[in-house]
Structure 1
Amino acid sequence: MFKATKAFSGFSVDDLAVARDFYANTLGLDVTEENGLLGLQIAGGIPILVYPKSDHTPAEFTVLNFPVTDIEATARDLVARGVTFERYGDDQDELGIHRGEGPLIAWFKDPAGNVLSIIQE
């Protein structure tokens, strides 16, 4: 039924202008705005929808993962841009990169409190 459908994901934020600034200027994504909604332009051509919600509650799970080829360099660059990495356990290094079981990954939040990650390809 949906094999040919170009599905897309979306999540809410509490302040669209702050979200636009973060995703465009801090993360360097191309961001569009139409009808009061943001579109995060990512590789592959299908945008991610970001919408305002007055009673927004941040997601308690990762809403967006960014695969990167060099997680350490990316983490350092994000820290230089003001990003703070989350701490979820003892198996994270000084940059916040999880080095336990599974892939190398580091989590951070957008200004609305939604969890994002960088993950080593």
Structure 2
Amino acid sequence: MRTNWRIEARIPTQDLARARRWYAEKLGLEPAEERDGGLRYEGASGVFCLFTSAGASDGSFTQMGFYVDDIESTVADLRSRGVVFEEYAGAVNGIMDIEGNYPSKGRGERAAWFRDSEGNMLGIAEVIQ
């Protein structure tokens, strides 16, 4: 396996303009690049692209995740922007403690999930050291 490959996520959209507005209004993100049928976003350590697609995700799994330093304040900020978090059994204020998940990143993580304007499942997580 090559370790020098750049990895980028691809997220399908039915309505690219609607998705662009949602990512700007709800997550405060603006594309670094725009092409016909697609938008490219760059983060501190990763890239994702929104693209126009005839297909759609069923939203039953996490398609993309963001790591944050403080999940409580991030959830509060996103809620103030109108993001609606999924509620799962065992979650407190929409946040779940996941012990032993991704052991290469600490002993677990605290995580929360939400859907974008296109129904794609997105997650945010804070590593538990």
Is 1:109–2:115 an aligned residue pair?
yes
Q: CA deviation at 1:49?
A: 1.7
Amino acid at match of 1:110: D
**TM-score of the superposed pair, with normalisation by structure 2:** 0.80
Q: Distance in 1 between matches of 2:22 and 2:80?
A: 14
Could you say which residue in structure 2 is the equivalent of 1:78?
78
Matched letter for residue 97 of structure 1? I
Query: What's the offset of the Cα at 1:14?
Result: 1.2
Name the counterpart of 1:92: 91
- How many matched pairs? 118
Whether the 8 Å contact between 1:67 and 1:119 is mirrored in structure 2 is: yes
2-structure distance, mates of 1:99, 1:67:
14
- AA aligned to 1:64 is M
User: Residue 9 of structure 1 aligns to a residue in which SS?
Assistant: strand
Deviation string 1:18-67 (CA, Å, 9 cap, x unpaired) is 111111221112313212211121113x5312111134233421111111
Deviation at 1:9, TM superposition (A): 2.0
Which of the pair is proportionally richer in strand?
2
The residue type equivalent to 2:10 in the other structure is: G
> In 2 relative to 1, CA 76–54 (structure 1 residues): closer, same or farther, beyond 3 Å?
same
Q: Distance in 1 between matches of 2:116 and 2:86?
A: 11
Which runs of 5 or more structure 1 residues have no equivalent in the other structure? none
Deviation at 1:2, TM superposition (A): 4.0
**How many Å apart are 1:100 and its aligned residue?**
5.0
Instruction: Report runs of 4+ in structure 1 exceeding 4 Å deviation.
Output: none
Using the aligned pairs only, state the percent identity. Answer: 36
Superposed CA RMSD: 1.8
